[in-house]
């Protein structure tokens, strides 16, 4: 899998903001979109309530309603259709899952099973946790790969906090997955921590 530099680098931080501005502008206009993104990150905006939205400059009832409808809309249109996708780098995964991950209020752990050409053949959510943790074993993670005769796997989970920095538990789990997948003869390509606007790749950072 081709490597890319981790997204936590400063020269990449503006790109998601520009995309988010473009999305919001189509719903609530340019001035209101700029005002909203000055106050909220995209992850925070998806959980904002009407009262706080109405305090934002250029925001009226209809625009607040449009924003309040965004989580449901994103849930409908951004469900990843991963079957058959070829993955060449970590950003491919981020673009597929950023919005569906961003609207979730609990951590979800997802396993992608790939064939020898890095084409996704199966996707499975193996565990759902709380707002700041999810518990899953390497055995549960490898089951989908074994069932579908996968050549490799990519793992990912979301951080509802909006901060993609991995925890000590995330690092420990990544190490255990790497050891277990080696024993089973399955390539472990990456483990990503995803939010709506950024991500962390263990592969890109040289930890896999």
Closest CA to 107 of 161, 68, 185, 182: 161
pLDDT tens per residue, range 109-165:
999 999 999 999 999 999 999 988 999 999 999 998 999 999 999 999 999 888 999
Q: Which residue has the higher pLDDT, 117 or 27?
A: 117
- For the entire predicted model, the pTM comes to 0.68
| Sequence spans of domains, the chain | 10-76, 79-201
Q: Are 196 and 42 in contact (CB under 8 A)?
A: yes
Percent of the chain with pLDDT strictly greater than 90: 52
What's the confidence (pLDDT) of residue 73?
66
- What's the CA gap between 158 and 191, in Å, rounded? 11
- Once rounded to an integer, what is the mean pLDDT over residues 62-73? 81
Using DSSP bridges, classify how beta strands 187-194 and 152-158 pair: parallel, antiparallel or unpaired: parallel
Closest CA to 70 of 94, 93, 102: 102
Q: Are 98 and 41 in contact (CB under 8 A)?
A: no
pLDDT tens per residue, range 94-116:
988 887 777 788 899 999 999 99
What's the confidence (pLDDT) of residue 88?
94
- Once rounded to an integer, what is the mean pLDDT over residues 60-64? 89
Q: Which residue in this structure is represented by tokens 């950024």? A: 198
In Å, how far from its chain's centre is CA 70?
A: 17
Examine the pLDDT at 89 and tell me if it is beyond 70: yes
Fold assignment, 79-201: Cytidine Deaminase; domain 2 (3.40.140)
């Amino acid at each position: 899998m081709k490597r890319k530099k981790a997204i936590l680098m400063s020269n990449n931080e503006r790109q998601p903001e520009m995309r988010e501005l473009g999305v919001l502008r189509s719903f609530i206009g340019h001035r209101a979109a700029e005002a909203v993104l000055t106050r909220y990150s995209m992850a925070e905006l998806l959980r904002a309530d009407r009262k706080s939205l109405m305090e934002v400059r250029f925001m009226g009832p209809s625009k607040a309603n449009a924003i309040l409808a965004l989580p449901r809309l994103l849930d409908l249109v951004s469900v990843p259709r991963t079957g058959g996708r070829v993955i060449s780098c970590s950003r491919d995964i981020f673009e597929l899952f950023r919005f569906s991950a961003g609207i979730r209020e609990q951590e979800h752990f997802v396993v992608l099973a790939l064939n020898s050409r890095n084409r996704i053949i199966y996707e499975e959510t193996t565990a759902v946790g709380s707002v700041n943790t999810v518990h899953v074993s390497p055995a549960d993670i490898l089951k989908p790969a074994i069932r579908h005769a996968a050549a490799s796997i990519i793992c990912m989970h979301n951080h509802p906090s909006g901060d993609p920095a991995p925890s000590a538990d995330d690092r420990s789990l990544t190490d255990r997955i790497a050891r277990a997948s080696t024993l089973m003869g399955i390539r472990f390509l990456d483990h990503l921590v995803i939010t709506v606007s950024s991500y962390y790749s263990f592969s890109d950072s040289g930890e896999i």
